[in-house]
Amino acid sequence: MGATTPVAFDPNPENIGLSKTFKAGTAILRGQVVAYADAGTTATVIPALVSVGTPVGVALTSQATVGGEVAVAMEGYVLTVMCAATDTSIDAGHWVSPSTVAGTIIEFDNEIAANEIVSDTGIWPIGYTIEDTTAGSGTVGATVPIVISIQPIFAMHA
């Protein structure tokens, strides 16, 4: 498994859904999954990680300046995202969530999420795949088209 180094890329948006302009809490690359900043700063997003705020969507523009504007694709968009590894294999129809590599995704693990529910961490699903992954190369991660459909995690309690 090759590690991914996040790079800006064209997420090839189609079936345009909701989008909004946010402030960048740190440098953001086009195509990265973004989440609300942990501090909950109003309308501020950062590259998503499993350990940060609720996912918002996917950056449609890069922004190197903290506080600068970044356009974000949200609910209903169909676009391509980058996986956390070059050889990630996710089948069509599977849910995905933020990973430990900034702005990238992994296959959503329902069992882990149910045991680690915290409403302000990025373990929420960001959407579901509509095709199988396409392998990456070098340090560029595998990619996969998704439908953005952010879902909260609920757990059953006895």
Sequence-distant (≥ 6) Cβ neighbours of residue 9 within 8 angstroms? 29, 30, 31, 80, 82, 143
**pLDDT category of residue 139 using cuts at 50, 70 and 90:** confident
For residue 68, the SS3 value is: coil
The reported pLDDT for the residue numbered 14 is 80
Report whether pLDDT(49) > 70.
Answer: yes
| Domains of the chain and CATH, by start | 19-148 (2.40.300)
Highest mean pLDDT among 7-11, 86-90, 146-150: 146-150
Instruction: Decide: residue 149, CB within 10 A, 0-12 exposed, 13-18 middle, 19+ buried.
Output: middle
**What is the Cα–Cα distance from 152 to 95, expressed in whole angstroms?**
12
Report whether pLDDT(155) > 60.
Answer: no
Integer-rounded Cα Rg, in Å, for the chain is 14
78-82 and 143-148 strand pairing: antiparallel
pLDDT digits (tens, 9 = 90+) for 25-35: 999 999 999 99
pLDDT digits (tens, 9 = 90+) for 75-130: 999 999 999 887 788 999 999 999 889 999 999 876 554 444 444 454 688 999 99
Average pLDDT, the chain: 84
Report whether pLDDT(21) > 90.
Answer: yes
- DSSP element (H, E) containing 112: helix 110-115
